[in-house]
Structure 1
């Protein structure tokens, strides 16, 4: 086995079980490890720290996976890790009103570069690390043994694969090809999702609890759902008695999916308006026409993919939320989110305070949101807490 030695002043995070070793922390490597190899990581005194997955092309040179020297990551190790992750979701898997669950959440489940989602009787898998690519068949076999799905479909087409020297990979890994429109259920609401062509793995179950909580404020309200995708917030609002819902997204596929979902749930389509448009532009149109709403949801894509982009992203978040607040009267509610891991809650609150000031509004924070519990956050990997949100009231 190849050994990676760290620089003297670059061992603290690794000892504290943070899973990332950046290339700049490497002092030397014994031999020539290949991308995807399991390597032994040691400190400057050659004392063992952890086993990890090596990649010489990535900024993250080693992804640490095991800190016990006696537990070498062999086939049994991988099977145990997959099994533990799935078993941790058993309470959700037993739910009668939800059948879409994140089964494996990468570093948070000690399986960096691996995402697995369950959609009804199908699984969707994403692989973003060369070390996991090598054990793809093993992971597939274990998932089949644990859950016996109708099929496992791979959606490994994210940009992260490029940094690992991997090409995109889409297609059936085992079992059947999922139907073009697969029906799933979340919070008792039916959704038709396209696993093969939808965004990422097909559906965002990280907002499950936030959709339900926000919907409790929707009864009798005029609701605006921005960046609505397949309609999670829109549909929950209808299910809780919203007077009307306007849904906005720039994606044609999102609009098609949303309309199917409104129809399949039997909601009153006369109370729903779906607009395919750039959200910021549409918010300006609403403002110029004097349109107002009682509850607005802003769930934009990732504005800050890294800390170096945070300042620019902060301006974008502030402007977006300012435009949203301008459409709310006294007592109106804004549910606003950031899925940027680089954005912490304290900074997000400050951005909302600035947005409110610029909009001439006074707001209260009445709820903080985070990702659902099938997206756990490891104490040693706070970057796993990527989703945060705020429910704000205009006063």
Structure 2
């Protein structure tokens, strides 16, 4: 019987190994000195330091700037179906501990890529359906084993594939959105969050259909909305707006978004929760809509500013920072003295320090002092893994204008 062929070896350049000994999972092409043997996307490789010392096992993608994603730092543990099954199991075990048999267990993130040691895979649960998103062409080559593990653990009715904008090009992914297992999801289904009902569209909605990462922050807004006139900017399908309006003492909510389809869904969510009389939805670009409100002399007691990702690449960071400063300046102008602002950034290239400075600059430009009361972040089903700081992507500051 022939012995198995040795795995290709990727040898790193001198002084490039430390992050990977510390278990950061992304090996960029610029860190690699040479690769022995021929490789195809999805092949397993051994990564070694310049002196030949073993570091980790990973999957290679010759078409991606993230050339190798690392999954095992044990030389004796291959990247096979057994490993993927174990990783899926441990990810789901965390959500079971977090949510038990509550409604949140049926509407949450089940697998969060690097944080669950499955770099390049995101899985969200919507009742009896799962939505899978690949951000790694290398890991996608192992789709069958991972889907089999999900089916065994969750027993869903169906699994739907969604692809993030731009990822196909960046990763060389040759896949199309659609059903990959079981039954197709209904075009409209209802999930429960914070005792509210939300209609979601898994097939055409943004990302995987709903932003679970802001769940805890929406509870904060619910509590602050007593006796408040609220402005929700970039409301999408109304989740912040309805959490505010569901406070019995909330006075009113104005929610703006540029997407007609999102606003249509938001209005149906308001109707379903009996909150339509409290919430006004307005189609408007965030910058134009807030500028018009400033010109009208409108004031609010509570503002939520949760724009989509403004910095998709490091090259776009400078432009994004200017946009964030402008948005926050407008929000600060629209607040009553003593009013509250929850301002958010989901742009991974914008660091917490960057975002702090953005708020400081906006405060300075408007000439109104701002207190930062609390630094918030993503919900616990979006854990941050210590070896990969990039998994801490959501910045959310609860602020108060004091003048």
State how 1:35-74 maps to structure 2 within 5 Å: 35-74=41-80
2:200 aligned partner:
193
Pick the aligned partner of 2:234 from 227, 247, 251. Answer: 227
How far apart, in 1, do the equivalents of 2:163 and 2:89 lie? 21
Deviation at 1:158, TM superposition (A): 3.1
How far apart, in 1, do the equivalents of 2:98 and 2:129 lie? 16
Deviation at 1:323, TM superposition (A): 0.5
Pick the aligned partner of 2:255 from 243, 247, 261. Answer: 247
Secondary structure (helix, strand or coil) at the match of 2:149 reads: helix
Secondary structure (helix, strand or coil) at the match of 1:270 reads: coil
Secondary structure (helix, strand or coil) at the match of 2:294 reads: helix
Deviation at 1:167, TM superposition (A): 2.8
Q: Return 124-133 or 378-387, whichever deviates more.
A: 124-133
Pick the aligned partner of 1:91 from 92, 97, 111. Answer: 97
Query: Quick one: structure 1 residues 335 and 273, their matched pair in 2 at CA, closer, same or farther if it must change by over 3 Å?
Result: same
Gaps of 5+ in 1: none
Deviation at 1:200, TM superposition (A): 0.9
Answer whether contact 1:7 1:27 (CA < 8 A) is retained. Answer: yes
Answer whether contact 2:214 2:379 (CA < 8 A) is retained. Answer: yes
2:119 aligned partner:
112
Pick the aligned partner of 2:36 from 15, 30, 40. Answer: 30
Residue by residue over 1:212-263, the C-alpha shift from the partner in whole angstroms, topping out at 9 and shown as x without a partner, is 1122110121111001111111110011132111111111121011011101
Secondary structure (helix, strand or coil) at the match of 1:336 reads: strand
Deviation at 1:168, TM superposition (A): 4.1
Normalised by the length of structure 2, the TM-score is: 0.95
How far apart, in 2, do the equivalents of 1:349 and 1:133 lie? 37
2:336 aligned partner:
329
Deviation at 1:162, TM superposition (A): 1.6
Say if 2:367 is the partner of 1:365: no
Gaps of 5+ in 2: 1-6
Answer whether contact 1:36 1:129 (CA < 8 A) is retained. Answer: no
Normalised by the length of structure 1, the TM-score is: 0.97
Say if 2:153 is the partner of 1:137: no
Deviation at 1:93, TM superposition (A): 4.1
2:4 aligned partner:
none
Deviation at 1:157, TM superposition (A): 4.5
